[in-house]
Structure 1
Amino acid sequence: MIEQQQQLLEFGYCEPLEFIAALSMAAKKDFMLEFGREMGIALDEEATNMLEGMIGRLSRHVKREMNLLFGKSTLYDRLDAGLYNVFFGGEEAATTKEWFERYRNWDALDLVYMLLEAVYESAGIDWLDGRDAASVRTDAQLLPLLAAAHPLPDAELHAELLDCARYPEEFRHRTVLLLESFWTHAFLPERERLAAFGEEGARKYEALFAADPEQSFARIARIDPKLVTKRTRVHVSYISQVCMFFNAVDWRGDACSWMSLGYFNDALERRQEDKDMTEKFLKVIADKRRLDLLELLKTRNHYAGELAQLMALTPAAINYHTNLLIDLGLIRITKADGRIYYELDADRLSMLMDQTKRMLLN
């Protein structure tokens, strides 16, 4: 069954989605870097340099607009929510230029509504007062009244949102200028590299999903494969590094879903496995008896009876401790002179110690 769902996946690179991701990442760079450090997820050096280059080529005005309209959250809770909604709100835009045209022609009031909806939802505020969303998003008089009646904890942000609600055409014009400036000065110089990384990542994940779809859904996409019930485009994003995003959309009868995966999602799983292994390693060597056992095996191989005698433990206790060390790969079983010996794997011990050092200090 999972193999059938895997066959519905179409791996590739979608430039408009990468453009939105790059704009969002650039707007939130410092926050994203700090959040990544806290979560043990670091951007690789090339991606960091790429983002810094993008930001460095932008004017101060554009950077102020980005700071206001994107905020500092890992969620899509401001302009980025609307940008994605516009992309998913029609037939697939094959190029960023096509997506730009769709955005320019989108109803300005609806763009403002999507911004307000994202901000208030993130703040946990019911700003519609029980009204139907479909009616509010088309009411130019009601929209600013509802925004005014529901202040946000951030008074400056609330004042800016009120301006957007009162002057929707101006808001659309501002955001179009922002998109065009970011495209020209920030994205275009990195366009070819981002496409190359995305296409390379798509080939990598296509092979991984073909080889082991069950593990790939669980560890790379981290979604229930049952969600994949129709053709699903999979965009692989280098600039996002690590992301799991699924969206089901219907385009005039052409049913299709979208999934975005980060270029390093597979590495995230390995980092998590490394973290779990490090935790297990620290727990195992925290016991003095197991440290003594490793100390004895450092000098030469021993059989169980010797270890029991030298450590004044019962054979059952020796068996318990050695099994824990065998499970970690720190010792292995060998046979000589008709006896079963335990042998220290010094290379494995050194690797686990280095891994622990990297995790704790880097």
Structure 2
Amino acid sequence: MRNTINIRISTPMEFMNSLFALGTDKGFIEMIRAFDLEPNDEITGMLQKMGKTLSHYIQQELTYFFDASGLGFIFYKYIIHNPTLSKVTDVVEKIQQDTADEFVFRIIESVCKNTLPAKGSQAYKALLGNKSGLLELLGVTKVQDEHRRVRVVEALENPEEIKQRFTLLLSRFYAVSFAPFEADIIQCIETEQPRYEVMLAETPELFIRQFMNLDDLKDHSAGYIIHLSFFKYVSCHAYSSYKEDIADWFVVGIYSYLLFSESVVSERQAQFFKVLSDVNRIGIIRLLSERPWFGQELAEALNISPPTVSYHISFLQQIGVVKFTRTDNRFYYFLDRSRLLKPLEDFMKSFE
């Protein structure tokens, strides 16, 4: 059946989320607080217990691969392409079966997905193992995080070393830091799973809007997989198949339902108005109401620096009113009018 939504618990996907949670360190807790929620004792306690198992070397490697700029996201490619693998060790083995060039090429596929030649074409095939060609491709690719670009270059320059470091980190972290707590983590997710299954069954359209952040589902023959996550905690992250005939994945934090409680809604409304209470952000919104703009244009129009534009854009993206799209090798920001108007409408309705 088309557009089937399958809620499941994927241990490899949860393993990856745990790596990001510990790799970003304080950034993970800050992400939860950005949603006007305070992390509960279960998550803080688990992070502390797992953190105590890490050697200095593994902590360094964890930060390198799984902080905000890291290359650890590539792990998801192996998960969504092998959805039947239920064990972390099986996914790690899949990575080990790839050559170093194949492993690095998967990284390039993810980072340069908008500039890659058509998949299967001669130009595409010629890039595998072609360091100079891949470096040239990376050079013409717009990468929002320049720190990540540096790490991709390091991977291209040292493919065997990067692959060995990555697989060693995965194997060691699983054995020492994840496996001892795996049963407890999965049990936490299983406890919350019925809540989401009932909501999906009873109000599918509301579920899609609230927990998948979509107005509706596009037709997709392979369907959609939702992994409920303890370490994602709240909100949703999408892992697209990029038009491949495999399912799109969504990772939904098991405490995401808290985002729609009355107190949190009030806090979010306050945050919405707080973000808008800045003259530069109002200026950006007014300009974007006319058409999409790229960062340098906005800087010149408002007579501020490009880094200042990025700073203010980040707040507007946080409340969802500004998004971006890639056109002609540039990232253009555009206004999501519905995300701008709906909070205002909801605020007014609360007085009815």
Q: Deviations over 1:216-246 (max 9, x none)?
A: 1112222233236444322100111013133
DSSP 3-state at the match of 2:248: strand
Q: Deviations over 1:59-82 (max 9, x none)?
A: 1111111212223x3xxx532321
Cα 1:19–1:153 shift into 2, 3 Å: closer
DSSP 3-state at the match of 1:57: coil
Q: After superposition, where does 1:307-326 map in structure 2 within 5 Å?
A: none
Matched, 1:86 2:78: yes
- Could you say which residue in structure 2 is the equivalent of 1:64? 60
**What CA distance in whole angstroms lies between the structure 2 residues aligned with 1:53 and 1:234?**
27
Per-residue deviation, 1:157? 7.1
Per-residue deviation, 1:215? 1.6
Cα 1:278–1:23 shift into 2, 3 Å: closer
Residues 12 and 234 of structure 1 are in contact (CA less than 8 Å); yes or no, is this contact kept in structure 2? yes
**What CA distance in whole angstroms lies between the structure 1 residues aligned with 2:57 and 2:259?**
36
TM-score by length of 2: 0.64
Cα 1:217–1:90 shift into 2, 3 Å: same
Ranges of 4+ aligned residues in structure 1 off by more than 6 Å: 145-159, 250-253, 277-280
Structure 1 unaligned spans of 5+:
281-323, 330-362
Per-residue deviation, 1:165? 1.6
**What CA distance in whole angstroms lies between the structure 2 residues aligned with 1:142 and 1:278?**
49
How large is the Cα RMSD of the aligned pairs?
A: 4.0
Cα 1:5–1:274 shift into 2, 3 Å: farther
Per-residue deviation, 1:90? 3.6
DSSP 3-state at the match of 1:227: coil
Matched, 1:99 2:95: no
Structure 2 unaligned spans of 5+:
273-346
**What CA distance in whole angstroms lies between the structure 2 residues aligned with 1:84 and 1:221?**
18
Q: Deviations over 1:315-341 (max 9, x none)?
A: xxxxxxxxx9x9659xxxxxxxxxxxx
Cα 1:242–1:17 shift into 2, 3 Å: same
Residues 8 and 226 of structure 2 are in contact (CA less than 8 Å); yes or no, is this contact kept in structure 1? yes
**What CA distance in whole angstroms lies between the structure 1 residues aligned with 2:163 and 2:30?**
31
- Could you say which residue in structure 1 is the equivalent of 2:229? 237
**What CA distance in whole angstroms lies between the structure 2 residues aligned with 1:226 and 1:21?**
24
DSSP 3-state at the match of 1:226: coil
- Could you say which residue in structure 1 is the equivalent of 2:15? 19
Q: Which has the higher helix share?
A: 1
Per-residue deviation, 1:149? 9.8
Per-residue deviation, 1:27? 0.2
**What CA distance in whole angstroms lies between the structure 2 residues aligned with 1:161 and 1:226?**
33
Cα 1:149–1:216 shift into 2, 3 Å: closer
Per-residue deviation, 1:9? 2.1
DSSP 3-state at the match of 2:196: helix
Matched residues, number: 272
**Which has the greater radius of gyration?**
1
**What CA distance in whole angstroms lies between the structure 2 residues aligned with 1:161 and 1:229?**
31
Cα 1:258–1:120 shift into 2, 3 Å: closer
Matched, 1:51 2:47: yes
